[in-house]
Amino acid sequence: MNIFLETVGAHKLTPKQILQDPVLFLAFGFGSGLARKAPGTFGTVAAIPLYCLFAQADMWVYSILTLLVTLVGIWICEVAANKLGEHDFGGIVWDEIAGYLITLWLVPFSWPAVAWGFVLFRIFDIAKPWPIRWIDRKIQGGLGIMLDDVLAGVFAGGLLWLMAGQGWL
């Protein structure tokens, strides 16, 4: 059994087409969103090396890069949804990448922070407490695809920041 999708979206694109298109390649988290099961989790895993790279910079550079990933992500997700012919297809995971970077924004680098950030972000992204669920249902387009994960990252990041403040990381 193949762990990757055979066709993608209403337009039935192939994984090869996804990987060869620069926008879809990014939208699918460097290919991680092609996972048949739990593409959001795989997309978050794909964010970890990017976070490790960004975390080597100072806070200003990290902030600019994270904002850039997030703002450009609105366009990336909008274009990807149009190319797939399907709004917020599960394999579009650029939003998970941005959300994970936001989760770790205000805490110093540590491997426990990387792990706890992953767990907390996935919990908020999957559970979608208010207002995340409302935004996920009401706001369309690239902004809608990105915004629920941005908020999940803010919520998870707030908890992670509290944990760091208590010396738990």
pTM for this model (two decimals): 0.95
**Residue 143's Cα: distance from chain center in Å?**
13
* In-domain check, residue 38: yes
- The boundaries of the domain holding residue 108 are 15-165
In this structure, how many other beta carbons lie within 10 angstroms of the beta carbon of residue 124?
Answer: 24
DSSP one-letter string for 67-112: HHHHHHHHHHHHHHHHHHTSTT-TT--HHHHHHHHHHTTTS---HH
* In-domain check, residue 1: no
* In-domain check, residue 29: yes
Tell me: the pLDDT tens digits for 98-157?
A: 999 999 999 999 999 999 999 999 999 999 999 989 988 999 999 999 999 999 999 999
Q: Which alpha helices (DSSP H) does the chain contain, by range?
A: 15-20, 22-27, 39-54, 59-84, 94-103, 111-127, 132-138, 141-165
Band (pLDDT 50/70/90 cuts) for residue 88 is: confident
> What is the number of domains present in the chain?
1
* In-domain check, residue 10: no
CB 81 within 8 A of CB 135: no
* In-domain check, residue 8: no
* In-domain check, residue 7: no
* In-domain check, residue 94: yes
